[in-house]
Every structure is written in structure tokens, then in C-alpha cells.
Amino acid sequence: MQYPFYVCREDEFGFRGSFPDFPSAEARGDSFAELLRNATRAVVLMYDRSEQLIPAPTCSASELHSLDLDDGEGIWMFVDINLARITSKAADVQFDLLESLLQRWIGRQENVI
């Protein structure tokens, strides 16, 4: 999946980056390639064998630009993180349901209680 990643120059020779969807997965690197490797590794290590739900990527440009980590000094890019390698114990499921079916199910549950 493609996750937004905010990249800044840390000093004359290094880079740092942050994911808004993974706040504790900050990464640094002497080169851009090293930064991307370290960022991907940080996310994988954070969620591998974890019971945490893996968040969906933030995709709204206006939402990304309104975040505190966007200080105007860096650039936004998208990093592909292979979530298939992560052996998470939790799963996040999202689906749409007709409101009439939902109301019917809620009515049945109220009769059970």
C-alpha cells in the first residue's frame, strides 16, 4: 500500500521522514535510499506480530498539508509498504450495508436483549 511520507533534510548530508499514519515510525538516513529502507523497516517492525490494527493511508492532500509535521521545509511523497509481509494478528474490515438491513438487524438485537 502507498502511505504518505514527509521528508526533510536533517543536515547537510542526511534526511529524516515521518508517516502521519504511523506517528512513532520516524526514520533517518544518510542517503535518500537509506531513509526509505529505514522507514519501511520501522513500520514493518512496529506491526509485525502485533495486535494493532494497521491504519488505512491518509490520501487527502488538504489533510496532509494541515498536519503539524508539514513545516513547509520538506516534501510529501508516497512510500510503498508491503503489508503482505506483516503477520498481524488483527484485521480491519470495512464494508457498506443498506441502512434498512442495518435497522432490521438492530431491531432483532433489541428483541434479544
Q: Is the pLDDT of residue 86 over 70?
A: no
More confident site: 113 or 1: 1
> Which residue has cell 521528508?
7
Q: How far is the C-alpha of 7 from the C-alpha of 28, rounded, in Å?
A: 9
Q: In this structure, what is the dihedral angle of CA atoms 21, 9, 34, 3, given to the nearest 10 degrees?
A: 20
27-71 residue pLDDT tens: 999 999 999 999 999 998 887 777 777 778 887 877 887 777 777
| Complete domains list, the chain, with CATH | 2-88 (3.30.160.250)
pLDDT of residue 17: 94
Residue pair 92/51 in contact by the 8 Å Cβ criterion: no
Neighbours of 29 (CB within 10 A): 18
Mean pLDDT over 11-33 rounds to 90
pLDDT score of 44:
86
**Which has more confidence, 47 or 8?**
8
Cβ–Cβ < 8 Å for 80, 74: no
Of all residues in the chain, what percent carry a pLDDT higher than 70? 88
pLDDT band at 4 (very low <50, low <70, confident <90, very high): very high
| Contacts of 68 by beta carbon, 8 Å cutoff, 6+ apart | none
